[in-house]
Amino acid sequence: MEKTKLELSWEVFHVISTILARFIKIRKECGISMSELYVLAYIKQFGKQNLGGEKLVLRADITQLLGDVFNYKPKRVTSEVTKLRNKRCIKEHTLEADEKRAIYGTDTGQMRSVIILEKGYEKIDDFTIRINQVYLDLTGPLLSAAFGQDEKLIRSIAEWLLIEKKEREALT
């Protein structure tokens, strides 16, 4: 019995390759790795506010996060944190006991934290704008070309993008 070999159509291969190449270009233009961007976005999304209104997370949480998502060992995490600090996207901070109690409800355990700085927010915004442009490009001419294909995968991606576009337009 002959086993059917799974293959991608040229159109699907072209779309995936084009999108991947654009993501790589965007990452380079932003001057930040995906793991660094992931850390910044994590702090922005899940960070706790200190008394000065800055968003922070415990340094141990960054080690856990990059270990879980990127399979980084603690030494590599330290390197990533150092890069972000050198780019002035974050600063490291040691919490005082009363400060930790106010933020986390306890004054024990890990006291080292990482605070996102304005440049970190700017990196996230720059990346977001560029990725949004890819989205707009996909829902423009590339989308109409995709509907001309018989490929189920392209059609389902195109339909999903149209739904997303309509929902975004409804919000604005």
pLDDT tens figures, 121-152: 999 999 999 988 887 777 665 555 555 545 56
Domain topology for 28-129: Arc Repressor Mutant, subunit A (1.10.10)
Return the pLDDT at 1: 60
Q: Which strands sit side by side in the sheet containing 90-94, from one edge to the other?
A: 48-49, 55-58, 112-116, 90-94
Residue 172: CB atoms within 10 A of its CB come to 4
Q: Is the pLDDT of residue 91 over 90?
A: yes
Highest mean pLDDT among 102-106, 113-117, 165-169: 113-117
Residue spans per domain, the chain: 28-129, 139-172
Highest mean pLDDT among 1-10, 80-89, 98-107, 154-163: 80-89
Task: Compute the distance between CA of residue 124 and CA of residue 152 in angstroms, rounded to an integer.
Answer: 33
Nearest to 37 by CA among 50, 24, 49: 24
Q: Is the pLDDT of residue 157 over 90?
A: no
What average pLDDT does the chain have?
85
| Residue of 48 and 153 predicted with greater confidence | 48
**What pTM did the predictor assign?**
0.75
| 34-55 residue pLDDT tens | 999 999 999 999 999 998 999 9
Return the pLDDT at 136: 78
- Name the pLDDT band for 117 (thresholds 50, 70, 90): very high
What is the mean predicted confidence (pLDDT) over 1-27?
Answer: 79
Q: Which residues pair with 57 in a beta bridge?
A: 114
Which tokens go with 164? Answer: 């997303």
| Residue of 159 and 78 predicted with greater confidence | 78
Nearest to 123 by CA among 77, 87, 76, 79: 87
Which tokens go with 118? Answer: 């304005």
